[in-house]
A and B are shown apart, each in its own frame.
Chain A
């Protein structure tokens, strides 16, 4: 039983990393209507910046974390304004291809600046475990879940209780109408890209200590995040979070208790989730249902 709980907590930790990146995908999908294939590489770039600040420039972890989030936000806004916006008038396919171009570009940029070497990244949390109710839980896992939850709650408060959050939601659900009430829709979409970049940075920085940092850090994570987003419903922020946690716990338990599912079968497992959800219930667990009159 204790072992089971331990696996659940470890699953929640990796699940929250998927959730954060999945939420980034959902934010952009709601705002721009596309899957941002460069989301993973943007997150990797953010993680390199944080690593560089701490390792090469001697910063403490949390100041580097905060500055990285800020830079990621500005980068996300900049990418939308500079690269996505000029292509938004075209077809959805055009924007998708632009994001694939960004993926390749950012990946190349990372190799150019930091080389392809694998780097060890320090964790902000101690590697000790603490015992809660007879279950040994790693502090790093708790910290990971905690940071993601704090980010998600902060975002939720922003969207639910601030004027700008309301304007962002309005711009995403009905841009034409939003412009009529005076919302500057393009800037709201840029803010969405900025926030998505922040979420990606959070997931990258939390993933790096256990996965090690290399230019392809987020390639596999993007698949998990995509599976989480599809599972939760690609338009549902809540779905992305729940989907991420379910996927994290589910894959971890499968890997532990089902003999033939080793670490090698985790990624195919995620792909299977994508396939099954799209076949059986394309709207996912929390996907958009038509609002009905009462």
Chain B
């Protein structure tokens, strides 16, 4: 199995605070990989380092090539990043958000993709012209995912998709992610506070502690791991 994305000794800092102290991880093509950990462990920063929204050092390889540059370049390389706290343009309409999702694409198949998206999220068609800010929290999160899909990414990065959402909506979002993976072979890197649902969805996971990888392995194995269970699963 080839790795689509590889991080090797990636470090990042916010001013004097070192947030990542040498992260190494692999996301195999066609798999869902989860990044777990407590608040401040560096989960979000890991995604930011990949998308170039924080200054990083170390090696990041994507699809066999070194990944460099800011978020514009990373988006063009085929990585769609749904940031923490709903990645939508609240002042723009739903359909404008989707169009922006496909901004980096040069082909003219946006229309067909728009139709495909509305199969996954049927409510989107009825709300097409509504400002994204008027959607509910769950709908905004789904719109953020839909917008990311419009780019036809090779890798989808989700940052805490469950944040502030009702359990039923969280399950719905993860169900869609699993189905996208199963049906279209979409590779996903998901950062999640809710370890249980993340481990149920991902095939493997990394647990971060103060900017380092503390534990890693297949999801079944981590679910049985005593320290992971006590710290993150609470049983």
Chain A residues packing against B (C-beta within 8 Å): 163, 166-167, 169-170, 173-174, 176-185, 291-294
Contact = CB atoms under 8 A, between A and B. Distances in A.
B99 A166 contact: yes
23 contacts: A163-B99, A163-B103, A166-B99, A166-B100, A169-B96, A170-B89, A173-B89, A173-B90, A174-B89, A179-B72, A180-B51, A180-B75, A180-B83, A180-B87, A181-B103, A181-B151, A182-B71, A182-B76, A182-B103, A183-B100, A291-B90, A292-B134, A293-B136
A174 B83 CA distance: 13
Contacts of B90: 173-174, 291
Counting chain B residues whose Cβ lies within 8 A of the other chain, the interface size class is 20 to 34
Nearest to A164: B103
Interface in B138-179: 147, 151
Contacts of B87: 177, 180
A178 B90 CA distance: 12
Interface in B185-208: none
B201 to A, nearest CB: 23
Contacts of A180: 51, 53, 71, 75, 81, 83, 87
Given A167-B103, A170-B92, A179 B134 contact: no
B22 interface: no
Nearest to B130: A294
A89 B72 CA distance: 18
A170 B88 CA distance: 10
Given A166-B99, A181-B100, A183-B100, 16 more contacts: A166-B96, A170-B100, A173-B89, A174-B90, A174-B91, A176-B53, A178-B100, A180-B71, A181-B151, A182-B75, A182-B76, A183-B72, A291-B133, A292-B134, A293-B134, A293-B136
B9 interface: no
Contacts of A294: 134
B28 interface: no
Which of A163, A176, A177, A293 has most chain B Cβ within 10 Å? Answer: A177
Interface string B61-75: 000000000111001
Nearest to B81: A180
Contacts of B147: 181
Contacts of B51: 180
A173 B72 contact: no
Interface string B83-120: 10001111110001001110110000000000000000
A37 B101 CA distance: 35
B30 interface: no
A179 B71 contact: yes
A179 B88 CA distance: 12
A20 to B, nearest CB: 24
A182 B72 contact: yes
A176 B81 CA distance: 12
Contacts of B151: 181-182
A179 B70 contact: yes
Given A180-B83, A181-B151, A169 B92 contact: yes
A121 B151 CA distance: 52
Contacts of A184: 72
